[in-house]
Amino acid sequence: MANKSLAKVPESTCVLVTGGAGFIGSHTCVELLNKGYRVVVVDDLSNSSKVALDRVRQITGLSADDARLAFYECNILDREALTRVFQENEIDAIIHFAGFKAVGESVQKPLEYYWNNVAGTLVLCSVAREFDVKNIVFSSSATVYGEPDFIPITESCPKHEATNPYGETKSMLERVLTDLYKGDNEWNVVLLRYFNPIGAHESGLIGEDPKGIPNNLLPYVAQVAVGKLACVGVFGDDYPTPDGTGVRDYIHVVDLARGHVAALEWMGGKVGTGEAIGIGSIKGTPAEDGTRRGVGIFNLGTGKGSSVLDVIHAFERACGHELAYEIKPRRAGDVAENYAACDKARDELGWVAEYDLDRMCADSWRWQSTNPNGYAAS
């Protein structure tokens, strides 16, 4: 029934990052290594590139064989491979990103999404438990709020049925992880609800590298700016928003990554008042060494909404030329406006997003213009 302690210094703490070669995962590896943590990445490379990890080493000054960053190419559904990872590494905590994440695709392929995202997480937690690893930070999403009852959205905003299977997998897994704690109070769970992660590391070495035509706004705009695509389609300009286009809470991916490091510190009892505030959070009884037990739920956003046209004009400032766009019909399932209240993360995690939209676009442009084909050999 025991759990590994997170009261240790980062240099003595090993973090398993599933999906660590991905967009948010690779940026989080940089921040963990910068803080002195040892990192073990598990990734099946189905939607990422191993080159990203080479770039992480380049950014953090690690040689190719430096044991502070280990990599295992495997899927979290592969129990035998996961067991070997835990046998070969003294894992203390898990940051769990691995999962399919395309909203539209999930509508077409619900079985693949429930199998990969939900069953995969069950295998991961089952193996982790065998090795007394019950500290887990989960990559959740603001999509669990569905059409929010109010904005800005606080963590106590009721969850609604997501408009797609992808969002449902996030909501289900929040419930699974909460029930793991309710059934065994040794579990130490943080659910991080992301808003709209964009941008790239300031080095331009890592960034978002979607496969095929991007579904999301920012990578699409970036590919228009670099000339890979011709024109941005603006999905609706008749919403009840300042300029009629959709409003979202865009957050710099480096800010988001730093939120995960803050969550680990919180789990280790090193920050925060100990009150897991707000509906859904469960304040457990801390372990003897002060490390937390229970379920913490936090929105990671900036608290500021930006419209589609705001993003396009910010990207024009970043790339130095105008971008072609045309108004198109609304996209099914889109809400008009959605942005976070982030007081809880500020008060409990001691975390606040630092970067504004212009910085997000400037960093994204540096990545896109120096890597026009992403991680593929240019």
Q: Which is nearer to ligand WQD, 162 or 264 (CB)?
A: 162
234 binding ligand WQD? (CB under 6 A): yes
Looking up tokens 């559904």 gives 77
Structure token pair of residue 142: 């603001």
> In 211-277, which ranges are E strands?
232-235, 247-248, 250-252
Residue span binding ligand WQD (CB under 6 A) among the ranges 87-95, 181-189, 230-238, 277-285: 230-238
Q: How far is the CB of 220 from ligand WQD (least distance, A)?
A: 4
b/e burial code for range 297-316 (CB count within 10 A of at least 16 → b): bbbbbbbbbbbbbbbbbbbe
Count of residues near ligand WQD by CB under 6 A: 18
Residue 106 structure tokens: 């999930």
Q: Is 244 in the site for ligand WQD (CB under 6 A)?
A: no
Site mask for ligand WQD (CB under 6 A), range 74-103, x = bound = ---------------------------x-x
| Residue 188 in contact with ligand WQD, rule: CB under 6 A | no
Instruction: Answer whether 232's CB lies under 8 Å from 323's CB.
Output: yes
Q: What secondary structure does DSSP assign to 305-353, as a single string?
A: -EEHHHHHHHHHHHHTS---EEEEPPPTT--SEE-B--HHIIIII----
Q: How far apart are CA 61 and CA 294, in angstroms?
A: 36
Say which of 166, 181, 194, 339 is annotated catalytic.
166
Establish whether 113 is a catalytic residue: no
- Residue 193 Cβ, how far from ligand WQD at the closest point, in Å? 9
Establish if 246 lies at the interface with ligand WQD (CB under 6 A): yes
Smaller CB separation from ligand WQD, 23 or 355: 23
Please report whether residue 24 would count as binding ligand WQD according to CB under 6 A.
Answer: no
C-alpha span between 33 and 128 (Å, rounded):
22
Q: In angstroms, rounded to a whole number, what is the distance separating the alpha carbons of residues 112 and 4? A: 32
Member of 34, 75, 215, 369 binding ligand WQD (CB under 6 A) = 215
Give the shortest CB-54-to-ligand WQD separation in angstroms: 25
141 binds ligand WQD (CB under 6 A): yes
The mark string for 314-333 relative to ligand WQD (x by CB under 6 A, - otherwise) is: -----------------x--
* Contact residue for ligand WQD among 76, 217, 357, 361 (CB under 6 A): 217
Cβ partners under 8 Å of residue 31, min gap 6? 254, 257, 258, 260, 261
**Would you count residue 69 as binding ligand WQD (CB under 6 A)?**
no
Answer yes or no: are the C-beta atoms of 326 and 234 closer than 8 Å: yes
Q: Does 216 bind ligand WQD (CB under 6 A)?
A: yes
Q: How far apart are the first and last CA of the chain?
A: 50
The interface region with ligand WQD, picked from 10-18, 31-39, 89-97, 213-221 by CB under 6 A, is 213-221
Backbone angles phi, psi at 87, to 5 degrees: -70, -35
| Amino acid identity at 121 | T
- 280-299 residues in contact with ligand WQD (CB under 6 A) are none
Residue of 265, 334, 343, 356 that binds ligand WQD (CB under 6 A): 334
Name the residue whose CB lies closest to ligand WQD: 246
CA pair distance 256, 24, nearest whole angstrom: 8
Judged by beta carbon, residue 189 or residue 308, the one nearer ligand WQD is: 308
Contact residues toward ligand WQD (CB under 6 A) are 101, 103, 141, 143, 194, 196, 215-217, 220, 233-235, 246, 248, 308, 331, 334
- Which positions are annotated as active-site residues? 166
